[in-house]
Structure formats: structure tokens, C-alpha cells
A and B are shown apart, each in its own frame.
Chain A
């Protein structure tokens, strides 16, 4: 008799668990926006030790990329010497420009309106290339606005905005396409990211004048991005490539691992 009662009890418990699970699933799947905003807000508020964690995170990423950083440092040292010698001639041109600008009474062109924000969360699984910032609709941010670093390097654009936070997709998103322009030769092409994570140039015109270390900025053909934002530089030129479309390997200026403070361009909506 006792065994029978226990069996009934087990069955009832399992049925209750099943019903709870079905209700929970239904609520969970239908409340995407509410739950997302709640999760981000909670993580933002509870992540009180974020600054010390950030320092440790930077230390770990620097430690793991030590060889690359050393190589970059040596390259920068060389570049610094070269730039030092160029600065004198630039100063002369600058002075000449100032005089001409004053003479012609040219007004300073109005640039973008910027709003500072902090990256609070990034995709821990690195499958989407998404990031979250600590400002949202309450600060006047909207979907589609471009996000840049303090050095005007393109980070990405906002894709979903909540009251106090926004979600954005970075240029590291798989399958992203950005129209770019070579700053030196004005050649237009499309930047793409393959599934391995390498950036390369597509739709390059035949006999295009693109050299290693050429700087690429966003072109005016982009429906989602403003013109003139720094994107990448040409890292490698594969001349004997069997695939003519994958001739130029690029190195993005954005360091995903050091993403912290960003600026949102508020006067541009696609």
C-alpha cells in the first residue's frame, strides 16, 4: 500500500515538474525583450568589481599576446622615427593652411555629435561578436547609430536599444561586409570577414593600386556606416593567390580584447 502511494506521489511530482517546465518555457520564450533588458541591467549592477577585473583581463590578454605586442612595439618604434622626420614638413603645410583658411574665411566643418559610453559586456562565447554599452534610449541612443573608439576607429553599430543599455554588433561579427576606401589611392572595395576570423578585401577592381600598410576607411557606399571611419590596414598582399578575390589580408585597427570606452555618433541614423 505504501509503495503504491509512493508511486502515485512520484508520478504527481513529475507531472507538476513537467507543467512548471512548460509554463516556464512559454514565459521565457515570449519575454525576450523584457528578460534581455533585465539580465543586462542585473549584470551591469552586480558587476561591481568590473574595473579591477578589467585590469586583470587586460593583463591576461597582454600576457597571452606577448609576441605580437613586442612585434607591434618594434614596428611602432620604426614608424615613430619616420613620422618624426615627416612632422617638420607637415608643420609648414599646416601653417600655410591656417593662413589660407583665415584668408578665405572658411568655417570649421561641423563634425559628429558624440556621446561617451562604456562597454559593459561582450559575448563570452565569441560566437556573435556582440557587445553591450551602458547607455540606452534614456540617453538618446537609437538603433543603427555608429560606435567608434576614442581614436575614431569603427567599433560597429547599435542593433538593439533598451532604456539604460544598448546592444551592438562589432566588426568582428562573422559574415560582416563593410564598404571601404583606400585613403591613399581612393580605391573602393568591400571588407569581409571569413569564418576563420581573417579580414580580407573583396570586389577589388582589377589593377587596383593597393599596397601593404595602406589605411582603409569606410566609404560612402555603406548603408549602415558613416564615411571616413578608420577600419583596417593592409597587412599582406598575396600575389600568387589562386583565388583573385582574396588577394589582400587586412589587420583591423580595433582591438577586441581592449574594448572599454567608446563613443556613439548620435547624429547619424541609417
Chain B
């Protein structure tokens, strides 16, 4: 049986790996889209770990994105917390540990994130190329799908 301490340690280690990945490499991939690995990772962890632990990770992620991206302080904080709360709420209607329910919940949350982002950018009159958001949404859902498949395939 895997020790809970080791499990948390691995989750934190993976989280910081994704932070480094996001800060150093994502912006170099392409100017057409961005991948929000932290969001995808937090959604996946929210199926497994308690809310308090996820809230701390969400707080760190939102602090990074609010500081480095988009000049509207608190947007990512609100979005990340809404997403993890909404996800907990969806557990009342969908199964928590099956492949299709996890896939469906995750894709809904990613769609919610990008829709909210587009709406905020539109409402606060921030010039942005909306196609980039659409393209990013497609890439993010695809990555989530692959990670979710791998998680169930290899029972991670």
C-alpha cells in the first residue's frame, strides 16, 4: 500500500515540475496557443486529494498567473477557486472514479475556464485574438483527454 506521505510528496513534486514547465517552456512552444498544465493538473488532483490540499495548490497557481499574465488582479484566483468548487459540486451528479465521468467533468471545467477568460477579456476590453483562446481550449482538452486516459490505463 502506497503511503499517504509519499503520495502527497509526489503530487507536490509533480506540481512544481509543472510550474517550471509552465514558466520556462510553454511560452516557447507557439504564439498561437498556450497550455495551462497547472489547471489540468489541479483538475486531475481534485479527483483524488482533499479540498484543502487542492486549494493551496490552486492558490499558488493563481498567484503565478495573476502576477505574470493579464493585467486584472484576482481573475485567476476567482477562476481557479470557482473551478475546484464547481468540480466538487459536480461530484454529486457524476461518478468520481470512472473514466468517462472524469473525462466529462474535466472537459466541462476546461471549457468553463476558457469561456470565463474570454468573457473577462471581452468585458474589460483587453485586446486579444479570440482564435488563440479557441485553439488553446482545443489543445488543453486534448491534453487533458490524453492524461486522463493514461491515468486510467496505468492506474496512476
Taking Cβ atoms with an 8 Å cutoff, the residues of A that contact B are: 17, 21, 24-25, 28-29, 32, 35-36, 39-40, 43, 47, 49-50, 53-54, 56-58, 60-61, 64, 121-128, 130, 132, 174-175, 194-197, 256-257
Contacts and interface: CB of A to CB of B under 8 A. Distances in A.
A125 B28 contact: no
Contacts of B51: 17
B112 to A, nearest CB: 16
A124 B74 contact: no
Contacts of A47: 20, 23-24
Given A21-B81, A257-B28, A196 B68 contact: no
A60 B28 contact: yes
A36 B29 CA distance: 25
A127 B27 CA distance: 10
Contact of A122 (B27, B59, B64, B73): B27
* Chain B interface mostly: helix
B23 A126 contact: no
B68 A123 contact: yes
Interface stretch (B41-49, B100-108, B122-130, B147-155): B122-130
Nearest to A54: B24
B27 A56 contact: no
B69 A123 contact: yes
16 contacts: A25-B81, A32-B73, A35-B66, A35-B67, A36-B67, A47-B24, A50-B24, A57-B25, A123-B27, A124-B34, A124-B69, A125-B69, A127-B69, A194-B129, A197-B129, A256-B31
Closest 7 CB pairs of A and B: A175-B127, A174-B127, A195-B129, A39-B67, A125-B69, A53-B24, A61-B28
Given A28-B77, A124-B22, A57 B28 contact: yes
Interface residues of B, number: 37
Q: Which of B20, B64, B67, B69 has the most CB of A within 10 A?
A: B67
Contacts of A35: 63, 66-67
A147 B2 CA distance: 52
A45 to B, nearest CB: 13
Contacts of B77: 25, 28-29
Nearest to A176: B127
